[in-house]
Structure 1
Amino acid sequence: MSDDLKTTPLHALHIELGGKMVAFAGYDMPVQYPLGVKNEHLHTRKACGLFDVSHMGQALLKGDDVQSAIETLTPSEIKALPVNGIRYSLLMNDEGGIRDDFMVTNRGDHLYLVVNAACKEADFAHIEKSLPNHSLELLEDRALLALQGPKAAEVLNRFAPGIDQLIFMNMAEVEVAGIPCLVSRSGYTGEDGYEISVPEAQCEELARKLLGEDEVEAIGLGARDSLRLEVGLCLYGSDIDTTTSPIEGSLNWAVGKRRREEGGFPGHDVVMKHLNEGVSRKRVGIKPLGRAPARAHTEIADQDGNIIGEITSGGFGPSFEGPIAMGYVKKEFSKIGTEINLIIRGKSVPAEIAKLPFVPQRYFKG
């Protein structure tokens, strides 16, 4: 491990479990365990996987009318969010680009925020600078676990009875195995599941208890990536970034109806122009027609060999049982079924624009 890499509270446990460690967003993180990426992926889809996502940033935003305050930074509808409701949100820049995607939970008199690991320092500095009349409390003494898969509710219910009744995109403050936690019914795999904010000092104790259940396996970053790709979820820095508008990124649904009309967030003019006049490129699903996966930065060409776009995420989908990708193409080539070519190692490989997600999302909506 490089001396300048940070570690999560579960670092020693990852080593004990045989995790293959890699540098990710400034942290030493497990990319896989002895089970292997493909089997970890399939186990999560079939039963239940436990992910360490403690590298992500957690914070509380406090102050008067905090819901209105955060709306000055995001196009999401937060004021209408019920208490303990969660919303996928976008931190915007003045050019209509995306600084980061993050999760906002309305806790009534404050907001609970979770941001991406690679962006957290910049995100928190931006929020503090932009909202000087509000206070941002960084939760640096808390870890974050994700329990994902069709057996997740059954497993967690053994340690927190009644948690199986919580519905998707809602939070509860409960004791899990006697440990006070913030539990969200959410995740980034497309499966039913939970994210559990737990005091750092008790994180390993809780992780070991969950891993002691027959259905649960430790899952690394490799499977986390293939799981989110199969269900068409964006990876910040790859599929969306400061040069991408929500409309180009096919994230129109993340821009609230009232927010479109009222504005009041950075880049509103650009977003409205893209909504009203259309965009020149769109994020789409891509299905290579051979067996070879196409990785990020693979060029996309039309039938005449003209470059029309680029893949931003690509690989093999274990549940889909074939290669899958996402990327950007010129708008006129974005229709599902459009035949395209991928330039892989200098060769033109046939592919087509595909419907997202590649496998169904299975969230628990009650």
Structure 2
Amino acid sequence: MTTPHRTPLYPLHEALGARFVPFAGYDMPVHYPAGVKQEHEHTRRACSLFDVSHMGQILLYGDEAAQALETLVCADLVDLAQGRQRYALFTTSTGGVYDDLMVANQGDCLYLVVNASRKDNDMALLRTGLSGDVRIDMQERALLALQGPQAVDVLADFNPAVRDMTFMDHQRMTFSDIPVWVSRAGYTGEDGFEISVSSEQAVELAQRLLAYEQVAPAGLGARDSLRLEAGLCLYGHDLTEHTTPIEAALPWAIGKARRQGGAREGGFPGGDVILTQLANRDHLQQRVGLIAEGRAPVREGAELYSEQDSRLGEVCSGGFGPTIGKPIAMAYLPVDFCQPGTRVWAEVRGKRHAMTVTTTPFVTPGYAR
């Protein structure tokens, strides 16, 4: 068996009493002694520190880097201003999603953050798919996420300039004497920041942050329940090579310049399929939110049925939403069953549980717009 990787913060996690689980080839903390529910609630109320150093961090250098990357993603990157970040999707020739990622313009290069489970695939795609004189540099850096409504107050003690950042801003700066790359974004639906820091200084920075009363450590369990309440997709579950951006309810991820009639229409893998679905709305399934009428959590893989007992699909992400106090889920359903208020039935351990289709997110986002 392959020995799992460990992030630079692994010794700190051990000292904090973390319980570890294997995830994307890494030993990662799933929760600390407080437990998932308390970590979730603390993030919504104050702020929590997550270790996301397993994610892939890649720099692209070259005058034509944005143009070259647009041949692989459906986002508008040529018009991405310096100091801004954008959500993007690698797409396949059939219109599926190869991976989702964040792209920031650092001025002299593009900074990509890709999923841990896909970073080797993404590196191979970049090496073979980028045209022109583009240099690709995989970074060996740590990545911390400080998420929650009090995150900005904590980080302002390190550098007051964070208060001037808005959602999806990205800057290079220093926190006291530590150089960092900071994005005002995250994966929880709350205001927050993702902080890229050298591996050598990661523990020091994390310890400084955890010294604040407002900051508590949080693991993958709370990260998952928070992102589910926020209606955010997890690759390999809610996004796959068999789901298109339109089916995934992500039409906004297709840049205006890349749409039909746009300045740089198409030009990305599967563009004919994706743009046809966008224009004609002729796709057959759609990602939706579901709220259970009972208390039993409905997990990934649970089959969904109509009142007439027709199988409709299955849950792609599910669990209990601590903030709303109900079981919630996301699933792909036939478009005729996607109207909010539609009832479907999930089969859990041989019993049928009623669920109601709803829009996402399940909670109001707290982003600093």
TM range (shorter): over 0.9
1:89-122 Cα shifts (integer Å, max 9, x gaps): 0011111011100000012331000000000011
* Superposition deviation, residue 162 in structure 1: 2.1
Match of 1:203 in 2: 202
Q: How does 1:112-131 map to 2 (within 5 A)?
A: 112-131=111-130
Task: Give the AA of the match of 1:134.
Answer: V
Alignment partner of 1:327 is 2:327 = no
Aligned length: 363
* Superposition deviation, residue 276 in structure 1: 2.7
* Superposition deviation, residue 3 in structure 1: 6.1
Alignment partner of 1:338 is 2:337 = no
Distance 1:272 1:92 in 2: 12
Match of 1:360 in 2: 364
Maintained 8 Å contact 1:159/1:177: yes
1:236-260 Cα shifts (integer Å, max 9, x gaps): 0000011110000000000112201
Distance 2:163 2:145 in 1: 15
Maintained 8 Å contact 2:64/2:134: no
Q: TM-score, normalised by structure 1?
A: 0.98
Q: TM-score, normalised by structure 2?
A: 0.97
Q: How does 1:139-178 map to 2 (within 5 A)?
A: 139-140=139-140, 142-178=141-177
Match of 2:272 in 1: 269
* Superposition deviation, residue 149 in structure 1: 0.2
Match of 1:229 in 2: 228
Task: Give the AA of the match of 2:241.
Answer: T
- Alignment partner of 2:113: what SS? strand
Maintained 8 Å contact 2:25/2:117: yes
- Alignment partner of 1:159: what SS? coil
Distance 2:213 2:279 in 1: 52
Percent pairwise identity: 49
Note the residue ranges of structure 1 that are not aligned, 5 or more in a row: none
Alignment partner of 1:296 is 2:300 = yes
* Superposition deviation, residue 67 in structure 1: 1.2
- Alignment partner of 1:358: what SS? coil
Distance 1:184 1:276 in 2: 33
1:280-335 Cα shifts (integer Å, max 9, x gaps): 00000001111101000101100011001110000000111110000100110000
Maintained 8 Å contact 1:128/1:134: no
Alignment partner of 1:76 is 2:80 = no
Distance 1:84 1:68 in 2: 18
Maintained 8 Å contact 1:66/1:109: no
Maintained 8 Å contact 1:338/1:353: yes
Distance 1:3 1:340 in 2: 42
Match of 2:242 in 1: 243
Distance 1:305 1:298 in 2: 14
Distance 2:362 2:105 in 1: 31
Distance 1:246 1:58 in 2: 23
Match of 1:318 in 2: 322
Alignment partner of 1:85 is 2:84 = yes
Over 3 Å counting, the alpha-carbon distance change for 1:72 and 1:147 in structure 2 is same
Distance 1:109 1:21 in 2: 38
Q: Give the root-mean-square deviation of aligned CA atoms.
A: 1.0
1:37-65 Cα shifts (integer Å, max 9, x gaps): 00000000000100000000001001122
Distance 2:60 2:156 in 1: 30
Distance 1:189 1:180 in 2: 25
Task: Give the AA of the match of 2:272.
Answer: D
- Alignment partner of 1:271: what SS? helix
1:10-36 Cα shifts (integer Å, max 9, x gaps): 001101100000000000000000010
Match of 2:134 in 1: 134
Task: Give the AA of the match of 1:266.
Answer: P
Task: Give the AA of the match of 1:350.
Answer: A
Maintained 8 Å contact 1:179/1:202: yes
Q: Which moved more, 1:173-182 or 1:27-36?
A: 173-182
Distance 1:69 1:109 in 2: 15
Distance 1:360 1:269 in 2: 34
- Alignment partner of 1:55: what SS? coil
Distance 2:149 2:293 in 1: 30
Distance 2:296 2:126 in 1: 43
Q: Which moved more, 1:160-169 or 1:334-343?
A: 160-169
